[in-house]
Amino acid sequence: MENYIEKMQKHIHNGRSEEMENRIERLRKYIDEILLNMKDTQERRCGYIHLYGVSQTCAFIALKRNLDFELATMVGMLHDLHSYKAMNTENHAEHGAVWARQILDELSLTTENETDLICSAIRNHSSKATTHSAFDEVLKDADVLQHYLYNPLFPVMEHEKCRLQNLLTEFGIK
């Protein structure tokens, strides 16, 4: 399994191994281990698409808003990990925040403040109708944008319409 992950990362990075030793990659390795060991292939596929889709979208939105894109990338990877692993979405934001803290503590990747920032965003990310901190909003917006970009021909969920419209306007897309 380890070899497979390393091969995949080298492929993605065009073999430039010197750029692979940062905390985003250390977290990715940890998450990949969990996803690759999931028995349900359909759930595993959804996990990969959504977690890494939201992660990239988080980075993009954070860059646009001059926020911490490194932490944004990390929060996207972590935000629904608990739901996919447990295959249960009940109270997933709260459970996800608790588990994210355990992972970040275990890996020692973040300062206390950064861990709080990441866990707050995960805890609040289901409340799409409410506005929280600027960093929390990056995750909520990225979640909505990833749902939309998965297949723009699908109808947009009612509770995501307003947020999506605001995002498209922010990015200059009619």
Query: Whole-angstrom Cα distance, residue 39 to residue 163?
Result: 34
CA distances in angstroms from 42 to 8, 39, 80, 107, 155, listed in the order given? 20, 9, 15, 28, 22
Taking each helix axis from N to C end, the angle separating 92-107 and 23-36, rounded to the nearest 10 degrees, works out to 120
Query: Closest approach of Cβ 4 to Fe ion, in Å?
Result: 25
When the beta carbons of 68 and 143 are compared against Fe ion, the nearer one is 143
Whether 62 and 92 have beta carbons less than 8 Å apart is answered as no
Sketch the per residue contact string, 54 through 83, with Fe ion: x for CB under 5 A, - otherwise: --------------------------x---
Q: Is 141 in the site for Fe ion (CB under 5 A)?
A: no
Q: Is 136 in the site for Fe ion (CB under 5 A)?
A: no
Query: Whole-angstrom Cα distance, residue 48 to residue 54?
Result: 10
Q: Is 137 in the site for Fe ion (CB under 5 A)?
A: no
Q: Is 143 in the site for Fe ion (CB under 5 A)?
A: yes
How many residues touch Fe ion under the rule CB under 5 A: the total is 2
When the beta carbons of 20 and 38 are compared against Fe ion, the nearer one is 38
When the beta carbons of 3 and 135 are compared against Fe ion, the nearer one is 135
For the chain, what's the residue count? 174
Question: Which residues, 79 to 108, sit near Fe ion by CB under 5 A?
Answer: 80
What does DSSP assign to residue 67? Answer: S
Query: Closest approach of Cβ 100 to Fe ion, in Å?
Result: 13
What is the radius of gyration, based on Cα positions, of the chain? 16
Query: Closest approach of Cβ 61 to Fe ion, in Å?
Result: 14
Query: Closest approach of Cβ 13 to Fe ion, in Å?
Result: 26
Query: Closest approach of Cβ 125 to Fe ion, in Å?
Result: 7
Query: Whole-angstrom Cα distance, residue 24 to residue 76?
Result: 11
* Residues engaged in binding Fe ion (CB under 5 A): 80, 143
